[in-house]
Structure 1
Amino acid sequence: MANEHELFPEKRNQDEPKVKVERKEGEPTSAFKGASWGALLIGVVAYLVGLFNATMELNEKGYYFAVLVFGLYSAVSLQKAVRDKEEDIPVTGIYYGISWFALIVSISLMVIGLYNAGSITLSEKGFYGMSFVLSLFAVVTIQKNIRDTQRAKERD
């Protein structure tokens, strides 16, 4: 049988310590990590469901899929390069430059593809654009969370 404090938490003695999850300094909260993964999942799944249901040719679907994968990879790569430079970890200028270039190209390919797409409506273009941006933002946040968690664990 449950004790009185489990049944009536408001009767808990105010001096009793609350159970607190241990989190290392600098580590993101579980809620923030979950929200980041949720945003990535929502963005990517929405984008892919939109592609699956689209009436465009298969080669067009392949183009938009490749742009998404390229964008996700380039965003993570750029986040890593920027973070490495910030933490005085050596990053070659060519890698740093290519990371920026790749992200700019992926975003440009998305914008150009959507601008020139005659087979999809304006609302669909907005849908693809927003799910693409959400996915890029989420993957950068996840990369940051992973790095912050790793760094917090190394400090101990």
Structure 2
Amino acid sequence: MTNDHEGLFDKEKQNVPKPKMERKDGEPTSAFKGASVAALIIGISAYLIGLFNAAMELNEKGYYFAILIFGLYASVSLQKAVRDKEEGIPVTNIYYGISWVAIIISILLMGIGLYNAGSIVLSEKGFYAMAFVLSIFAAITVQKNVRDTQKAREAD
């Protein structure tokens, strides 16, 4: 009789799901990583879909596309430079300064372009501005998540 009960307990132990890979100390949660990537995809997609459907000349579309790519690169570069400096990794002052100048220029170019765009209605200007800001912020967050995950896994 005791053998039947022991077999029952053994079966229960076998059906217990294995724990997921534990999150390392300092590593962002999967939910935060997913939300960051989703925000990046949504921001870039919305911006590009709006640009594709916009009633503007091809050179104007190229201008706004180039600003988006420039802004994304500048934001990731700035995040990396700031983080490297904070962690004591050598960063030249020129690269650090260029990173700041690049992000400021991309934001100014976007603002100036939208301000001077006569063919775009005000609500559309707001749409492009918000999609641009969302994309830049999400790119910074995704870069930070990648860096935090890598650092947490290397600590072990």
Q: Which residue of 2 aligns with 1:142?
A: 142
2-structure distance, mates of 1:65, 1:20: 41
Structure 1 unaligned regions, length at least 5: 1-15
1-structure distance, mates of 2:69, 2:20: 39
- In the alignment of these two chains, the number of paired residues is 142
Pair 1:133-2:133 in alignment? yes
Pair 1:23-2:23 in alignment? yes
Q: TM-score, normalised by structure 1?
A: 0.88
Pair 1:62-2:62 in alignment? yes
1-structure distance, mates of 2:73, 2:19: 39
Indicate the SS of the match to 1:107. Answer: helix
Indicate the SS of the match to 1:113. Answer: helix
For residue 17 of structure 1, report the CA deviation from its aligned partner: 9.8
For residue 60 of structure 1, report the CA deviation from its aligned partner: 0.0
Pair 1:73-2:73 in alignment? yes
Query: What do you get for the CA RMSD once the two structures are aligned?
Result: 1.5
Q: Which residue of 1 aligns with 2:41?
A: 41
* Runs of 4+ residues over 6 Å off in structure 1: none
2-structure distance, mates of 1:112, 1:77: 23
For residue 65 of structure 1, report the CA deviation from its aligned partner: 0.0
Structure 1 residues 69-121: Cα deviation after superposition (integer angstroms, max 9, x where no partner): 00000000000000000000000000000000000000000000000000010
For residue 20 of structure 1, report the CA deviation from its aligned partner: 5.0
2-structure distance, mates of 1:77, 1:155: 24
Structure 2 unaligned regions, length at least 5: 1-15
For residue 18 of structure 1, report the CA deviation from its aligned partner: 9.1
- Percent sequence identity over aligned pairs: 77
Q: TM-score, normalised by structure 2?
A: 0.88
2-structure distance, mates of 1:142, 1:47: 18
Counterpart mapping for 1:81-92 below 5 A: 81-92=81-92
Q: Which residue of 2 aligns with 1:109?
A: 109
1-structure distance, mates of 2:93, 2:63: 29
